[in-house]
Amino acid sequence: MSFAEASRLLNRFIAIRPDQLDVRLRRRIEQVMAKASPLERSLLNTTLLQGQAPKAEVKGRSAYSLSKALKEIQVPQYSIARSAQRLKEKLGF
């Protein structure tokens, strides 16, 4: 997976509102989180779960900013792409 593909996947995770996740997907995420690497957990928290995602102002409203989140994680792009690929496989997206 290229970094561009990983970015698109992580943006799709951001588009999913945590309060709209069904019970089955929540359980799956919890299972993945329990066995995930620290980077995978960070990616899930800053995107799909949005609990720690940095916010940016977008036309007068707050929005989650993937680019800001990835800068705060401070890891190489290839590591993000590799972890995003693993999350995609583990979560079945």
Amino acid identity for residue 40 in this structure: E
Q: What is the pTM of this model?
A: 0.70
Per-residue pLDDT of the chain (93 residues; tens, 9 = 90+): 888 888 888 888 877 777 777 888 888 888 998 999 998 988 888 887 775 555 555 555 445 667 777 777 788 888 988 999 999 999 888
- CA–CA dist 28, 44 (Å, integer): 12
